[in-house]
Amino acid sequence: MKSGYLGAALLAAASLTAVPAFAQEGAPVQEQGTAATRAAVIAAIDAYRAAVVKGDRAGLEAAFHPDISYGHTDGAVLSKVAQIDRTLAPGKRFTAVDIADTKVRSYGNVAYVTASWTFHLSKDDGSTSTARLSGLDVWTKGPRGWQLIARQLTRPAQ
């Protein structure tokens, strides 16, 4: 069943090239899907953000699909366990996770989300940092609700 979710995500991704509205170079991303689906995906994103800030392992377990592929700006692509461990690494904590410019495109049980993310980090030594990133998420709806199955974060263009 693992390949079923990934296969559905890849099939849906491939189908995007056939939609002229998305193929126009330089055009802004347009949302697709119902308001109810958008609200459910945004609720799942908010639950993920809350879990990151609380340092809630169970919340991250629920937010991430077992087959997640989480891509970082440093080139690391992590599994579910590795990403949760990186998020909850000792000596640091996220004080806030902000999201802006969110666009949700849903196709059945798959939703693509583009957004700008700001991760606020505090370390035990008293230092703080902020990472502003752009991202593409793939969420899939299954028996456990909407879960993040793929993410790629990148530094925004200057």
Q: Which DSSP state fits 62?
A: H
Confidence of residue 4 (pLDDT cuts 50, 70, 90): low
DSSP reduced 3-state for 75:
coil
Residue 6 has φ and ψ, to the nearest 5°, of: -65, -40
Q: Could you report the per-residue pLDDT of 73-129, keeping only the tens digit for each?
A: 999 999 999 999 999 999 999 999 999 999 999 999 999 999 999 999 999 999 999
Question: What band does 19 get if pLDDT is binned at 50, 70 and 90?
Answer: very low
Gap between the Cα atoms of 103 and 61, Å rounded: 24
What are the sequence ranges of the domains in the chain?
Answer: 2-20+33-154
State the sign of the Cα–Cα–Cα–Cα dihedral 121, 111, 136, 133: negative
| 3-19 average pLDDT score | 45
We find that the CATH architecture of domain 2-20+33-154 is Roll (3.10)
Say if pTM beats, i.e. exceeds, 0.75. yes
Tokens 């000792």 sit on residue = 90
Count of beta carbons in the 10 Å neighbourhood of residue 113: 24
